[in-house]
Amino acid sequence: MTSVSENMEVQNEDSQMSKCSDSTPVISTTSASEAATSELFTGEMSGEEHTFDWCDEDNDNTMETINKNEPEIEVTDDRPFWANKIEYLLAQMGYSVGLSTIWRFPYLCFHNGGGSFLIIYIIMLFFVGVPLLLLEMAAGQRIHQGSIGVWKVFSPWIGGVGYSSFMVCFIVGLYYSVLITWNLYYLIQSFQSPLPWALCPLLRNSSDFDPECTRTTPTVYFWYRHVLKATDEIEIGGLPVFHLSLSLCVTWFIICISIIKGLKSTGKMLYVSVLLPYIILFCVFTRSLMLQGADFGLKSLLATEVSALYSLEVWRRTGNHLFLSMGSGFGSFTAISSYAPRSNNCIMDAFAVALLNLVTSVTASMFVFAIMGHLATLNNEKCYLKNAETVKNLVTTGVLSSDLRLPESLYQHMSYSYPTWFGNLPAGAKSMVRPYLSNCDLAEQFKEVMKGPGVAIVAFTDIVFSFSGSTFWAIIIFVFLVTMGLSTMLGIMQGIITALQDTFPSSRKHTKLLTVSVCVPMFLGSLIFVKPSGSYYVNMLDDRWASLPLFFILILENMSMAWIYGARRFLADLIITLGHPISPIYRWLWCFVSPFVLLILFVSTIINLHLHPITYLAWNSSISDEITLSYPSWAKVLLVLLIVVTILPIPAYFLYTLLKVSFPASKKNSSATVIFKHEAKVEKPIPRPRLHVGQNQKKMNKNR
């Protein structure tokens, strides 16, 4: 066991390890507002001296990165805090588990290798997702700043990352509120029996059903024609749909009320918006396991396609979903953590959030697969019955021999008796009958069910008919979706509000006014997504736009900490703050694994956008079906423009910092001076600094 003392000297080669590379420059500034010092995480500790014993030699080497000659700055503010640890965890967990976890994960799992997708997701979650999550949580809770302020502290050269995160958060908030609006409207419509999407509507002044509905299913028709009033193309405009605009207004009113009093109101709302969905999910999951055919659905979930493990496309889709569903890079984790005490154990929090995300994703998938297994079983029996009637008619008309007549007992248990009857037929009889029969294989029926509609919300409207008392279950399921969406939206808004309050500290005294000033413009901006063609814009942003800026932001966040500030130094900061050793594996994950994976995802996403046509799923009213169309040229230009605009603050702020450094006038008028310091190897040993610990940590170590 290695002892750390104030008089121990550090070997020359170890003194160079505060970064992942000796040649990487250290960038520091004397600006008090940015507080960019190497003692970011030690400013909190008291001036009492104490000696720590570390059980790992690498942790001892890690501590050598703190140079006592660098100034120590205490970050003081009058920042509010979460009322308790429970509210803090609810905020983090509620934000990280959103609608995409429930909607996308099951279908991505089915179309990307089943169990193979789960294996890839778990690997990426713990080797890339958790380290990045820990990075954002630790930075936020120690520096007590939102996304805009935090990354300026790590390095003023990449200070624009915070502004890009803010813009991503803002744009995602615009269309994410519309996802909640759709579910809220379905919830309102669920308070009637029969459900309005159970049957096709009648034509006006006629007893005939609407032919556009009869050509498809009532649920799909209700979604496109009643809820969205969708146009056949994205080019066709129109005013915002009135009932969706009204629901959107209610959604933003709920969001505004939930955050208008700051952490006090947000914390109380989280008890409902986070806990209630999990109670409902447990209930519907338990009920789904009791359905006929649920076991087949669960077996299909766990079926593994080995080839998917070697597919770069599957890894790309998994990575896209992981970061979009968890919410890393948006700045919300940093904002939420900035209201936590600096001594909070962020490592345990990161693992708790990641595990909850995984458990929720798997549970939601099991629920969906159990339901789809049940529907596939019902369709399988209907198919057997249809084949039996076909054989009966062919025997009656004399097309087939009377020896092929089905026994009456066959109709009692079709799922068992029909396959037995067909399997016992002679080979010649099978070849004679087969051309007239449909393929009733249960696996094929399951594939047809899992294809479903192109929009996930429509699949959930189908699911409610699997239970008796569909009205009750529709209310339950859409309460679940609305509250889960709200908990994520509260996290998104926290990322926006916190960044504004940190940039304009005086606004903290007027929280209500600031909240209303943000919510009203965002509501007005969201109206574009409730136009008849609005759903096509939502799909374009969610499927095509969000990934590229997000990966770019995460790459710079990771590199600024690991290669500019120094992963070893950052780890040393955490050790001092938490008061116990931390596995050095995080340093290697931050330095090598995370940047490599993120870079691969970023490049593969660009290649995918370039090689594959950018398409969207549109409703064709003439054939009552979903068709795939290519986005028009102006939509592609809009997509590229949005990507550029969200990334633009990063190079812009770099140039701004460069001007301050390059021109003496800028230096003179600026309160910050940015300095490059290369860590050249020196012959003179560097004395080890004293480690300051808090009073509670001193007592803890005396008891060792």
- pLDDT tens for 132-189 read 999 999 999 989 999 999 999 888 889 999 999 999 999 999 999 999 999 999 999 9
List, in order, residues 6 or more apart from 535 with CB less than 8 Å away: 228, 230, 455, 529
468 is in an annotated binding site: no
Residue 673 gets which letter from DSSP?
-
Q: Which fold has domain 85-380+450-660?
A: Amino acid/polyamine transporter I (1.20.1740)
**Tokens of residue 566, six digits:** 């120094």
| Percent of the chain scoring above 70 in pLDDT | 80
Are the beta carbons of 345 and 575 closer than 8 angstroms? no
Q: What are the tens digits of pLDDT across the range 340-377?
A: 998 899 999 999 999 999 999 999 999 989 988 888 88
At 175-203, the pLDDT tens digits run: 999 999 999 999 999 999 889 999 898 88
Per-residue pLDDT at 666 exceeds 90 = no
Residue 698 has pLDDT above 80, yes or no: no
Pairing of the two strands 49-50 and 25-29: unpaired
Per DSSP, what are the bridge partners of residue 202? 209
The C-alpha atoms of residue 216 and residue 548 are separated, in whole angstroms, by 36
Weakest mean pLDDT among 116-120, 211-215, 235-239, 689-693: 689-693
Whether residue 508 has pLDDT greater than 80: yes
What pLDDT score does 518 carry?
Answer: 96
Q: Given a cut of 60, is residue 24 above it in pLDDT?
A: no
Minimal CA–CA distance to 19: which of 412, 391, 389, 564?
Answer: 564
At 630, give phi and psi (nearest 5°). Answer: -85, 140
162 labelled binding-site residue: no
The whole-model pTM stands at 0.82
Report the mean per-residue pLDDT for the chain.
81
- Banded pLDDT at 436 (limits 50, 70, 90): confident
The answer to whether the annotation marks 97 as part of a ligand binding site is yes
- Which SS3 state, helix, strand or coil, does residue 350 take? helix
For residues 695 and 572, the model is more confident at 572
Give the residue-averaged pLDDT of 628-637.
Answer: 92
Q: Distance between CA 225 and CA 241 in Å, rounded? A: 11
470-503 vs 99-111: helix crossing angle, rounded to 10: 110
Phi and psi, residue 114, nearest 5°: 60, -115
- Residue 583: pLDDT over 60: yes
Residue entry with tokens 């942003």: 541
For the segment 64-76, the average pLDDT, to the nearest whole number, is 42
Torsion of Cα atoms, 74 then 77 then 80 then 81, to 10°: 0
Q: Residue 627 phi/psi, 5° resolution?
A: -125, 155
Instruction: Count CB neighbours of 664 within 10 A.
Output: 8
Instruction: Indicate if the pLDDT at residue 114 is higher than 60.
Output: yes
Strand partners, 53: 3
Contact (CB, 8 A) for 332 and 490: no
Vertex 159: Cα angle to 156 and 160 (nearest 5) = 145
CA-CA distance, 200 to 441, in Å (whole number)?
29
From the centroid of its chain, how far is CA 507? 29
637: tokens are 């230009």
Alpha-carbon distance values, 668 to 78, 157, 660, 675, 677 (Å): 30, 19, 9, 14, 20
Q: What pLDDT was estimated at residue 416? A: 67
Name the amino acid, one letter, at 484: M
Contacts of residues 519-523 at CB distance under 8 Å and 24 or more positions apart, as own/partner, are 519/252, 519/255, 519/256, 519/493, 520/252, 522/170, 522/173, 522/174, 522/177, 522/252, 523/177, 523/248, 523/249, 523/252
Residue 655's H or E segment, with its range, is helix 649-662
Q: In 3D, which of 129, 515, 497 has the Cα closest to residue 331?
A: 497
CB burial of residue 331 (10 Å; 0-12, 13-18, 19+):
buried
Q: How confident is the model at residue 238 (pLDDT cuts 50, 70, 90)?
A: confident
**pLDDT surpassing 60 at residue 40:** no
Q: Tell me the longest C-alpha to C-alpha distance in the chain.
A: 104
pLDDT value at 74 more than 80: no
Nearest to 340 by CA among 141, 629, 199, 495: 141
Question: Alpha-carbon distance 9 to 704, whole Å?
Answer: 25
- More confident: 35 or 368: 368
Q: How many CA atoms lie within 13 A of 108 on its CB side?
A: 26
pLDDT-derived band of residue 689, with 50, 70 and 90 as boundaries? very low
Quick: pLDDT tens for 389-434: 777 777 777 766 666 666 666 666 666 677 777 777 777 777 777 7
Q: Which two tokens stand for residue 41?
A: 């995480």
What confidence tier does 6 reach under pLDDT thresholds 50, 70, 90? very low
* H/E element, 121: helix 115-124
pLDDT in the model for residue 454: 54
Question: Which residues are CB-neighbours of 340 under 8 A, at least 6 positions away?
Answer: 81, 82, 88, 140, 141, 346
| b/e sequence 520-537, b meaning 16+ C-beta within 10 Å | eebbeebbebbbbbbbbb
- Contacts for 521 with CB less than 8 Å, ≥ 6 apart: none
Decide: 55 and 581 in contact? Cβ < 8 Å. yes
Count the neighbouring beta carbons within 10 Å of the beta carbon of residue 336.
29
Residue of 169, 245, 233 lying closest to 635 (CA atoms): 233
State the Cα–Cα distance between residues 323 and 101, nearest whole angstrom. Answer: 11
The radius of gyration of the chain from alpha carbons, rounded to an integer in Å, stands at 29
Per the CB < 8 A criterion, the answer to whether 44 and 577 are in contact is yes
CA distances from 318 to 93, 109, 124, 297, 613 (A): 20, 9, 8, 21, 20
**CA angle at residue 138 from 134 to 139, to 5 degrees?**
120
The mean per-residue pLDDT over the stretch 45-66 comes to: 41
Using CA atoms, how far residue 53 sits from 13, 57, 198, 385, 584, in Å, is: 22, 10, 68, 75, 16
Higher pLDDT: 30 or 556? It is 556
Residue 405 has a pLDDT of 67
CA atoms within 13 A on the CB side of 435: 7
Environment class of residue 249 by beta-carbon count within 10 Å: exposed (0-12), middle (13-18) or buried (19+)? middle
Determine the Cα–Cα distance for residues 581 and 277; give it in Å rounded to an integer.
36
Q: In the numeric block, which tokens belong to residue 168?
A: 């991503």
User: What average pLDDT does range 633-646 have in this prediction?
Assistant: 94
User: Looking at residue 226, what is its pLDDT?
Assistant: 93
Compute the distance between CA of residue 572 and CA of residue 41 in angstroms, rounded to an integer: 9
- Distance, CA of 265 to CA of 61 (rounded, Å): 45
Residue 194: is the preceding peptide bond cis (ω within 30°)? yes
Asked if residue 325 belongs to a known ligand binding site, the reply is: yes
Q: Cα(105)–Cα(415) distance, rounded to whole angstroms? A: 30
Tell me what pLDDT residue 462 has.
Answer: 83
pLDDT score at 345: 92
